[in-house]
Every structure is written in structure tokens, then in C-alpha cells.
Amino acid sequence: MTKIAVSSGDPAGIGPDICIKAFGNKKDLIYKPIVFGNLDLFEERAAQINQEIAIKEYRGEDEDSLSSDFLWIVNKPIGTEISAGKPDPKSAEYIINIFEESVKKTISNEFNAIVTCPINKEVINAGGIPFTGHTEELARLSKSKKVVMMLANQKIKIALASTHIPLSAVSDFINKSHLEEVVKIIYKSLKDYWNKDEPLIKVLGINPHASDGGYIGNEENEVIIPALQNLKEKGIDTIGPISADTAFIEKEGEKADVFLAMFHDQGLPVIKAMGFGETVNITLGLPFIRTSVDHGTAYDKAGLGNADESSLVAAMDMAFSMSTKI
């Protein structure tokens, strides 16, 4: 059975809640989730949200020994008292520890994939640990030269040419070689994980109206168009640059396998509006499979029992599906 590592995220957020609701007492799962977290915290949170589950510490057991009667936890100390809904910078080291260990054990092939629950960058940095985001740290830990953030649901997939950088830095960040590498990673991933023989990638412009031929900025003419021409010569066809304001209005038969947005808030508001709670965050270009939920820590819902686990379930299903394609 496929074993999937789950980094449970910020202990004061809804990460523990959605893990308990998604995996507790579920005997029909087609994969085996192993949650990295704190055993005592999970038992307390389960009682708090009125979920009767049996929790057991995972110590490297093989698949046949992992009974579906238990929620299996890789137990890690927190080092501080945690209250649901109250973020604590003292938990930063714990958050990073469970994330990094789950990554390392996935790299070592103990797990077939990793799924991450929400963290709060402000809490981690306030705790004295510099942290930009999961995507950037995954690249560092895996020694990957370049990775690509992509969100996907049943309706649409949107990848990003840049992630967690200021808008003022996007233009300088995206050069021809970077854009070509991003498209190559997307193209290969679509073939490997989604069985697309000839993936259709639609590339957005960076400026309004994709610059209107150079009247509103030069990035399209100087960077995007030359990069896409170079890719075409290498056998990778794309469509673009397309004006972002109309790109997502598609006719039947012309639907993209993936849209490539130039910056974070050019693409993500679209996909989240089309399927929030059903969307999965995927990191492409890693030597392993990583998916994540599409939402934040939701401190206001932690410990109340009403947190929606559907995005976590979708992320697990996506990780399982991708792992069976390779």
C-alpha cells in the first residue's frame, strides 16, 4: 500500500483537526497516511472536536503492520503549551522539524509522497527561523535547482513563474532562461503524472493586455516571446503570451492543460475562486511528489470541529494518483 507522509503544520491551526477528520476511523483508504506531529496534541485535539479515534506512534513499521484501526503519528515534541486558535512563535522549531523530517524520509523513499498542512510564515519567522515558504524550502532540502508551484482542481491547473516575491521584483526575476526552465518542468510533469502526450500550456503576459505589442511594457517582446520561440525549436509548443484578463475564458476544444501565470496573485485568485477547498497545491520539479492543501491555518476554526478537511483529502488523492503514474 502507498505510504504518504503528512506534515501536520501549525499546531495551533486546523492542521491537526483536518488530519483527524480525514484519517481517523477511515478503514477504506487506498493509501496509508503517516502524520508527523505530536501524539499528545492530537489526542487532546481529537477530544476537543469530539472525534473518537485510536492514535498510535509510528516507528517505521512496514505497510502490513499498519493497522487501519489507528491514526499513525510520528511523534515529535512541541516544547511549549499549545492552545487551539492561538499561534505561538515558540512552536516554530516544532513546525520546521516535522516538515523537514517528513521531507527527508520521503527523499529516502520511506514514503511515496508528502502532503503538507498549513503553516504561518509570520509565526515561524517570529520564532527566529527565516522561512519564505514550503515551495522554496522543498527546493533547498531536495537540492533541486528549480521547482514550480502549481495549483490544480477538477476544472483548471495554474502554475506560477514566480512565487513569494514582491510584485516590484517580478519583472527582473523572470528572464528567458528561467521561463524556459519553468515551462520544461511543467511539460515533463504533465507527461509523467497526467499522461499528456502533447501538453497544451497557455502562457500569460506579465503586463495588461500582454503589453499590446509593446505599448504597455517590454517584457513580452524582450523575454516571453523569445523564450517561447526557443521552446518551440526544442519541440515544446505553447500558446502565448496571452492577456490575463481574458485568458481563462476558453472555448471547447481549446482548453489548456495548464495556464502559466507570471506572478502569484495573477493566477491564484482565479483558481481559488473556481474551486476553493477542492484545490491542491503541487510542487513540480522535485525528485518526489509533494501536494498540499489550498488554504491557511484558519486559527478561528481550530479546535471547534467545523474545519473542512476536503482540501486535505483532495491533496492526498492527488498525491496517490501521481504516485501510481510513475
50-78, pLDDT tens digit by residue? Answer: 999 999 999 987 777 888 888 999 999 99
Residue with cell 491542491: 280
Contact 77, 292 (CB under 8 A): no
User: Which tens digits make up the pLDDT trace of 137-169?
Assistant: 999 999 999 999 999 998 899 999 999 899 999
How many angstroms separate the CA atoms of 208 and 204, rounded?
A: 10
- Using a pLDDT cut of 90, give the percent of the chain over it: 81
Nearest Cα to Cα of residue 189 among 148, 235, 240, 247: 148
**pLDDT of 113 higher than 60:** yes
Q: Which part of the chain is CATH 3.40.718.10?
A: 1-144+286-326, 151-277
Of the pLDDT bands very low, low, confident and very high (cuts 50, 70, 90), residue 184 is very high
What is 172-184 written as a DSSP string? HH--HHHHHHHHH
Give the pairing type, strands 280-284 and 148-152. antiparallel
Bridge partners for 157 per DSSP? 152
Contact 118, 10 (CB under 8 A): yes
Q: Domain 151-277, what fold?
A: Isopropylmalate Dehydrogenase (3.40.718)
- Name the superfamily (CATH) of residues 1-144+286-326: Isopropylmalate Dehydrogenase (3.40.718.10)
- Angle, helix 225-233 to helix 176-194, in steps of 10 degrees: 50
User: Which tens digits make up the pLDDT trace of 226-275?
Assistant: 999 999 999 998 999 999 999 998 776 678 999 999 999 999 999 989 88
Arithmetic mean of pLDDT, 18-29: 85
